[in-house]
Structure 1
């Protein structure tokens, strides 16, 4: 009969554990090194200023500066300035839906046009994601699709932006209320602020 010493059995059982734990540890180290390498070093103030100067001298930068100085650009900036305090403080803005579609050629995803304090704005929510199992649009914007022209809504947003392509400031829709009922609230970002 074959007899194996107990110490050899223990070695045979422990050896695979050591090998597996070594592989797991090595994999963790590789992932940590990769994530450290992929995060870019923030630019210094001088580097940011130099990059801005370079961009301003490019054709895109020149066109942007022309747009900023144009009557259309000034109008967009003035509209954004009117709601800046509400954006900064994340407070309610009363709006009226003026159109259920965005300007032609818009690439902002789902959105509507609204009037806030006698100025028009694009109220953008982002792209609609389709449900891969049913090839349906998800329910994230379902209640927003029930909006009608002349509906009075309460808007809260963390961001207003602008681009030469659009004649209106672009308000990111983060919270929408109609008739004292929340019809949309943006979900917080995963893994971020």
Structure 2
């Protein structure tokens, strides 16, 4: 017999396994470090590419027009309106809104929406294009019952702007009237 006792055999097995565990741990740690480094490099290169593309676009007629709009009184007003609700957007918390108009500004291309006032500022509350499903029901149907001066509780994940509009555009993700849920945006399948 090579081994006289099971104690000696256990010691030898542990002595063989321990270095394997340590080496494999070091290999995995090294691999993750390289993976993180490559992620950072990729993110930096994408960021640099975006900045370069942005600079290139800013030199185009549309880019120049946009930059002028940003510093104009109208552009500053839109940005100030966005800033007023930024906390609510980031935290996805309730905002009290009053419907001011059932129609959007002429030439609007944001889909179905209404004009609302939140904390004294006017906003476009946009829900997107109206589509009927295969049963011919429209997810926005309850919203068609809104009236001017209706008080709403809304929540949104995003606010945007465009030089074409004199108002910030709030994405309508959740709407409640008189403690009754009127609309809640369905989560996209396969996405976040």
- Alpha-carbon distance in 1 for matches of 2:158, 2:185: 13
CA contact (8 A) 2:113 2:124 kept: yes
1:66 matched to 2:68? The reply is: yes
CA contact (8 A) 2:132 2:138 kept: no
Q: Name which of 108, 111, 128 aligns with 1:109.
A: 111
Q: Name which of 31, 41, 44 aligns with 2:46.
A: 44
* TM-superposition CA deviations, 1:90-128 (whole Å, max 9, x none): 000000000001100001110000000000000000000
* TM-superposition CA deviations, 1:74-105 (whole Å, max 9, x none): 00000000000000000000000000011000
- Alpha-carbon distance in 2 for matches of 1:113, 1:44: 37
Q: Which residue of 1 aligns with 2:22?
A: none
User: What's the C-alpha RMSD, in Å, of the aligned pairs?
Assistant: 1.4
- Alpha-carbon distance in 1 for matches of 2:104, 2:95: 20
Q: Which residue of 1 aligns with 2:186?
A: 187
Q: Which runs of 4+ in 1 moved over 4 A?
A: none
- Alpha-carbon distance in 1 for matches of 2:70, 2:134: 42
Report the alpha carbon displacement of residue 131 of structure 1 after superposing the two structures with TM: 4.4
| Aligned residues between the structures | 150
Q: Which residue of 1 aligns with 2:150?
A: 151
- Alpha-carbon distance in 2 for matches of 1:131, 1:50: 42
Q: Which residue of 2 aligns with 1:160?
A: 159
- Alpha-carbon distance in 1 for matches of 2:185, 2:132: 17
Report the alpha carbon displacement of residue 130 of structure 1 after superposing the two structures with TM: 3.2
Secondary structure of residue in 1 paired with 2:65: helix
1:96 matched to 2:98? The reply is: yes
Q: Which residue of 2 aligns with 1:24?
A: none
- Alpha-carbon distance in 1 for matches of 2:96, 2:132: 30
**Structure 1, unaligned stretches of length 5 or more?**
1-40
CA contact (8 A) 2:113 2:126 kept: yes
1:172 matched to 2:171? The reply is: yes
